[in-house]
Amino acid sequence: MGVSSPSEPPPQKPARGGVPDVRGMLLALGVLIVIALVGVGGLRSCTFAPGGPQVDPDAVPVTDVGAAFAEFAKSSAFPLRVPAVPEGWRANSTDRGAVPGGGSAVRAGYVTPDGRYLRLVQSDAAEADLLAAEAGGPQQGRGTVEAAGLTWVEYGAPDREPFRIATLPGTPVVRLLITGSGADAEFRALADAAVRAPLLPGPG
């Protein structure tokens, strides 16, 4: 009679090493979805439209242009103006800086109730230098526009937001530049407010 050998355990299925199971893949996908949703949420305050970028007016910070310009005026080489913009407009930025080529520029940014953006720049720089500083380089001329009793020279490519520059009467020479995605009526409203604004006390 033969000797029976002990039964051998059934062969084990080899481990699948680095291949993730379905549950792990679903968890990873869920994390990616959460990250994507957070990113989209951060962009909710800004949308885009064919006529130019639009901003959610309720989501932008609000800046006190009068207080900021009063400080700037203490050391400004030219008188500054604080425009009384239409009701519902929000000022969301101000700054001051030197213009390459000479002079300085004081800026204020506004968001309209429709979410359009306009920037007003007051400067004693030469027109070409001011345009280059604000537009990032020389721009193509597009003709002139009459607004607020001034002749504004319009620059920029036909399919881009225009840069409009006008020289105020009197001395010292002060120029206004307006640019942004605002409609023509909004440009005219800001131009009129800037021209009508009283002058802030200067240095001394």
Q: How far is the C-alpha of 128 from the C-alpha of 167, rounded, in Å?
A: 12
Q: What is the largest CA-CA distance in the chain?
A: 127
Q: Cα–chain-centroid distance for residue 2?
A: 92
Predicted local confidence at residue 61, as pLDDT: 77
- Residue 132's CB is within 10 A of a number of other CB atoms, namely 17
**CA distance linking residue 150 with residue 54, whole number of Å:** 28
State in words which class domain 55-196 has.
alpha beta
Reading the block at residue 150, the tokens are: 């001034």
Given its phi and psi angles, is residue 93 left (phi above 0), alpha (psi -120 to 50 degrees) or beta?
Answer: beta
Distances (CA, A) of 107 to 33, 120, 143, 199: 40, 6, 24, 15
With tokens 């007003």, the residue in question is 120
**pLDDT tens, position by position, 46-97:** 333 334 555 555 666 789 999 999 999 999 999 999 999 999 999 999 999 9
- pLDDT tens for 127-173 read 999 999 999 999 999 999 999 999 999 999 988 999 999 999 999 99
For residue 118, give the nearest of 195, 168, 52, 64 by alpha carbon. Answer: 52
Q: Which of 33-47, 58-72, 174-188 has the highest mean pLDDT?
A: 174-188
pLDDT at 62: 87
Q: Between 23 and 196, whose confidence is greater?
A: 196
CB 93 within 8 A of CB 106: no
**123: Cβ contacts below 8 Å, ≥ 6 apart:** 78, 99, 103, 104, 105, 106, 130, 174, 175, 177
Q: What is the rounded distance in angstroms from the CA atom of residue 161 to the CA atom of residue 166?
A: 17
The mean-pLDDT minimum among 3-7, 34-38, 65-69, 126-130 falls in 34-38
Instruction: Spell out the domain ranges in the chain.
Output: 55-196
